[in-house]
């Protein structure tokens, strides 16, 4: 979930594009990976690769149309495409399993150059396997946002017209950011499928797309590590409240509203401001 939120923030925090359809690429990665493992190949490496490729190509195709709009129109179009993906997952029973989804996605044994085998049926092994992917992906995203491409994206966020006047093709760079975000969201989905052992249409629905938005707002969109902290807080609050009441949505919603109103920069933004005041004193 931290990887999904961080991929979303490449669009929102660094490019200024609010997408309500990020779960579509997460779900595409999950479905393709699950189908590969269940029906085509037992190779987890191949399943992850194909899932990421499908998610990236889907993001490129959808982003080609979405980046032609701005503001709320862009956001609504991403939501519309996300719901189209949800409808396909829900209706295409022969491939996706319809409302039942894919059930029984295996946790395969992976091999490293034929020298070491790792049984991912062990939760501990699977955790560290995902952790390695998360660290490498986060490092790549960090390098991207601190590269010339990342500075162009931040320039687009700050003042789109000035970037246009400087001779750079804004739509092209927005599409690149859209595709990269879809790529890492697809990777998160591909890693999720064997972990959950099932992939249902819920993973591509609009409610799932709202989760990285809330995680990023909680942690702070202007700090690279914000979405990572936000995902941890989101899941922690959700699990804690669920364990104490059946009406967890009410209390969870109140908590989120409180945090968003009184910490508009997110927790990381608040901590950054606090540190600045202490340093000045």
* Residue 20: DSSP 8-state: S
The tens-digit pLDDT sequence of the chain (281 residues) is 999 999 999 999 999 999 999 999 999 999 999 999 988 888 888 999 999 999 999 999 999 999 998 889 999 999 999 999 999 999 888 888 888 888 888 888 887 766 777 788 888 989 999 999 999 999 999 999 999 999 999 999 998 889 888 889 999 999 999 999 999 999 999 999 999 888 999 899 888 888 999 899 888 888 899 899 999 988 888 888 888 877 777 887 887 788 778 877 788 878 877 888 888 88
Q: Which residues contact 51 (CB under 8 A, 6 or more apart)?
A: 28, 29, 30, 31, 32, 33, 36, 186, 187, 189, 190, 193
pLDDT at 239: 85
Say if CB 228 and CB 6 are below 8 A apart: yes
Say if CB 206 and CB 79 are below 8 A apart: yes
* Residue 264: DSSP 8-state: T
DSSP code string of 159-182: -HHHHHHTT--HHHHHHHHHHHHH
């Amino acid at each position: 979930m931290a990887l999904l939120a961080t991929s979303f923030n490449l669009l929102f925090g660094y490019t200024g594009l609010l997408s309500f359809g990020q779960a579509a690429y997460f779900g595409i990665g999950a479905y393709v990976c699950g189908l590969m493992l269940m029906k085509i190949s037992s190779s987890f490496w191949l399943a992850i690769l194909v899932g990421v490729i499908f998610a990236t190509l889907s993001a490129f195709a959808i982003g080609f149309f979405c980046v032609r709009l701005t503001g709320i129109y862009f956001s609504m179009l991403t939501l519309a495409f996300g719901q189209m993906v949800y409808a396909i997952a829900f209706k295409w029973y022969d491939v996706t399993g319809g409302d039942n989804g894919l059930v029984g996605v295996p946790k395969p044994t992976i091999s490293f150059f034929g020298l070491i085998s790792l049984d991912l049926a062990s939760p501990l092994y699977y955790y560290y396997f995902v952790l390695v992917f998360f660290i490498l992906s986060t490092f790549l995203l960090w390098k991207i946002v601190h590269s010339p491409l990342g500075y162009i994206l931040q320039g687009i966020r700050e003042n789109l017209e000035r970037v246009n006047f400087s001779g750079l093709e804004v739509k092209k760079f927005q599409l690149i950011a859209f595709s990269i975000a879809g790529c890492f969201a697809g990777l998160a989905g591909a890693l999720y499928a064997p972990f959950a052992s099932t992939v249902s249409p819920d993973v591509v629905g609009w409610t799932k797309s709202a989760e990285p938005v809330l995680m990023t707002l909680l942690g702070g969109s202007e700090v690279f590590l914000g979405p990572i902290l936000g995902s941890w807080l989101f899941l922690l609050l959700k699990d804690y409240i669920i364990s104490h009441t059946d009406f967890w949505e009410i209390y969870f919603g109140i908590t989120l509203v409180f945090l968003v109103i009184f910490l508009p920069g997110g927790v990381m933004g608040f901590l950054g401001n606090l540190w600045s005041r202490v340093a000045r004193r």
